[in-house]
Structure 1
């Protein structure tokens, strides 16, 4: 006998009508009627006398109602006991490394869920580029990390996040290319460019250029905050992703996407072959359930 059938039966017995039971259960009246009929067929016993719109328990129905109340109460108590046990386990500090990207919002959403469910959980967030974050992950200084592709994840467990990160150039409004809608490989020749010093990013850019004249790389940066003043003063243009530039001063700066479109994703990574604490395992589980 399914618990669901007992719950439907008990609700009908308590409500006295199928319509009221359907309202309480947030289902349709035919659904309730089918479930009650299925239970009566399973038990080969009539549980209700049906008179007009009212349902009255038979003798067998009265007996089942008392048993159903005991079973459902015990089920709720058992579920609550496991919930309480889980809450007791979920304490401590979750250490997260995260790059600057649109997917920072995804990280925040998962943290919002977790801290609402487990108020005793705290968190520490380290922001940096992929090299800094992976170094901290390897040293055990962070538990999980959100990294921006291109990135080598072969030595980690990983989960690719669905939100797309679009690459382009951040430039001053007065820059000669700012009247364009996109940046093509042919536009890049000789441009004063500030970019990440990660080799994987340079390789990605070279593939996108497809043999076109390369830009003139004048400097490197790892956090967008520090490069914005240089771009405003037209020292150079910055190769970055759209998501980290949403809050810049758009009266002074403009982001132009690359064309052909150059897009990558973020990945959630954690160390391979390590025993995860319940806290870390639960955080990863939330990502898996949302995006796997």
Structure 2
């Protein structure tokens, strides 16, 4: 005996007509007739006396009506209690670390939906380098983080965002490099560069250049690209960066030029292994897994 069929039965009993009940329930008359017939067969008793213009409950039908109301009331009450418990459960705070990248927009979209579903949840976002975020993840100061690959699989679980981040060089518009549509390794030989502080990023770039890291002309390194803009504008050096980090910040004096052949990386949403997170953090991780796990 299904709850759905009991609801059908109660509406028919209330309306006194299968045709009117079908309008209320937005289903067809044959469907309701079939469901009631199967219910009568299951119970071994007739539930309605079918008169010309009205369906009247039999004695068995009146008994079932009372019991069905009790059953559905208990079902609705139980469902509501779980909803109330869920609302209570999903209130809390999430601490999120995020590197400068295009995929921060992806995080924003997920958070928008999450907060709409759980308005009592609050969050804080820490912007920094991958090293800063990893340090805070390891120290328990952040729950989750958006990082650029590569990332340690020994300490972290993660899902990869589908959008790839494109590497290039931020140059001052009067630079000879600014006249090019893309930059090949030969174009950057001996060019003073400001590079991200992460050694694995510098190594990735060195491999693309077919050089050793020590042979690169790195004038300085940086953690946040914002601090580099004035250095590039004043022609101290050009800056190796991903396009997403500067997409909404370029000025008329600066230009981003992609590398060719393309050098790309992915962002990941990462969290520490073997940690008992709060229910609200677990739910956010589940949503990220559902959205992006291949």
**Under TM normalisation by the shorter chain, which class is it?**
0.7 to 0.9
Mapped partners of 2:105, 2:232: distance in 1? 25
On the 8 A contact 1:151/1:200 being kept in 2, the answer is no
Gaps of 5+ in 1: 23-28
Gaps of 5+ in 2: none
Which range moves more in the overlay, 2-11 or 153-162?
2-11
- Give the structure 1 partner of residue 25 of structure 2: 21
SS at match of 1:231: helix
Q: CA deviation at 1:108?
A: 2.3
- Give the structure 2 partner of residue 244 of structure 1: 245
Mapped partners of 1:126, 1:145: distance in 2? 9
The structure with more radius of gyration: 2
- Give the structure 2 partner of residue 270 of structure 1: 271
Equivalent residues, number = 284
SS at match of 2:229: helix
Q: Calculate the aligned-residue CA RMSD, in Å.
A: 3.2
On the 8 A contact 2:90/2:120 being kept in 1, the answer is yes
TM-score by length of 2: 0.81
Q: CA deviation at 1:5?
A: 4.5
Q: Give CA-to-partner distance per residue, 1:9-63, whole Å, 9 cap, x none.
A: 65677681535533xxxxxx56x854763564365378789999x9957647776
- Give the structure 2 partner of residue 228 of structure 1: 229
TM-score by length of 1: 0.82
Equivalent residues in 2 for 1:1-292, closer than 5 Å = 1-7=1-7, 16-19=20-23, 21-22=25-26, 33-34=30-31, 37=34, 40-41=37-38, 43-44=40-41, 56=55, 59=58, 67-210=67-210, 215-292=216-293
Mapped partners of 1:217, 1:48: distance in 2? 87
Mapped partners of 1:210, 1:195: distance in 2? 16
Q: CA deviation at 1:226?
A: 0.9
- Give the structure 2 partner of residue 26 of structure 1: none
